[in-house]
């Protein structure tokens, strides 16, 4: 997109640096800079805060989980919505993909379906799986992921609720699509009940 440049920051939350060889093998083939960082403290909040700190020099930071794949227009759609709605944070849908067709009852029950608000809908929360946020709100509020959620999950809901409470505007972008592959180990009654 004209006027938009970006870099990729990969935060490896494994002290053994298990992602390093993959990142270094792929990086030379890409048309944009890639920074590889190891966060040795275990837990999602440490990795997410490391990503935030290394991205504060940009105008905005977008998050995509390591088990997700973005549509080609994903980043443009996030940026377009950020600008068009004067938003501080924009979040898009994460659509589930199944390598093997799930049982009919899983599809009928919508267990892996997420809400898809129309573009421009103002929200009270977001998730890190598909989101873009202006860095000025992070500098101004000082809000970061709370380490009490490092191993329990829920760190993203807490983070975005606190930002919303601080007056940050969160908006949906239905066109900024990411896909998540749901393995067979999760597409079953036991995992759904858990």
Write the pLDDT tens digit of every residue in 146-164.
999 999 989 999 999 999 9
- Mind listing the pLDDT tens digit for each residue in 101-113? 999 999 999 999 9
Q: Rounded CA gap, 182 and 96, in Å?
A: 6
Place of tokens 């950020």: 82
pLDDT at residue 89 in the model: 98
Is residue 124 within 8 Å of 159, Cβ to Cβ? no
Place of tokens 């500098």: 139
CA distances from 23 to 14, 33, 81, 101, 156 (A): 14, 11, 29, 31, 25
Q: What is the pTM of this model?
A: 0.91
Give the residue-averaged pLDDT of 161-186. Answer: 96
Place of tokens 């549509």: 71
pLDDT greater than 70 at residue 2: no
pLDDT range class, residue 23, cuts 50, 70, 90: very high
pLDDT greater than 70 at residue 1: no
Which H or E run includes 161? helix 155-165
pLDDT at residue 66 in the model: 85
pLDDT greater than 90 at residue 5: no
Identify any residues that bridge with 150 across adjacent strands, giving them in sequence order.
none
Mean pLDDT score of the chain, rounded to an integer? 94
- Crossing angle for the helix pair 44-55 and 155-165, nearest 10 degrees? 50
């Amino acid at each position: 997109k004209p006027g938009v440049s970006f870099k990729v920051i990969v935060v490896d939350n494994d002290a053994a640096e298990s992602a390093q060889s993959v990142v270094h093998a792929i990086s030379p083939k890409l048309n944009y800079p890639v920074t590889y960082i190891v966060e040795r403290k275990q837990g999602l909040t440490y990795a997410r805060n490391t990503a935030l700190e290394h991205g504060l020099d940009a105008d905005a930071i977008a998050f995509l989980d390591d088990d997700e794949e973005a549509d080609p227009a994903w980043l443009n759609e996030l940026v377009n919505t950020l600008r068009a709605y004067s938003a501080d944070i924009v979040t898009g849908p994460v659509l589930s993909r199944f390598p093997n067709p799930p049982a009919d009852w899983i599809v009928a029950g919508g267990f892996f379906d997420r809400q898809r608000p129309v573009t421009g809908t103002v929200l009270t929360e977001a998730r890190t799986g598909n989101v873009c946020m202006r860095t000025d709100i992070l500098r101004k509020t000082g809000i970061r992921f709370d380490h009490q959620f490092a191993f329990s999950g829920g760190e993203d809901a807490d983070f975005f609720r606190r930002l919303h409470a601080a007056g940050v505007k969160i908006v949906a972008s239905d066109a900024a699509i990411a896909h998540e592959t749901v393995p067979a180990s999760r597409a079953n009654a036991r995992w759904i009940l858990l």
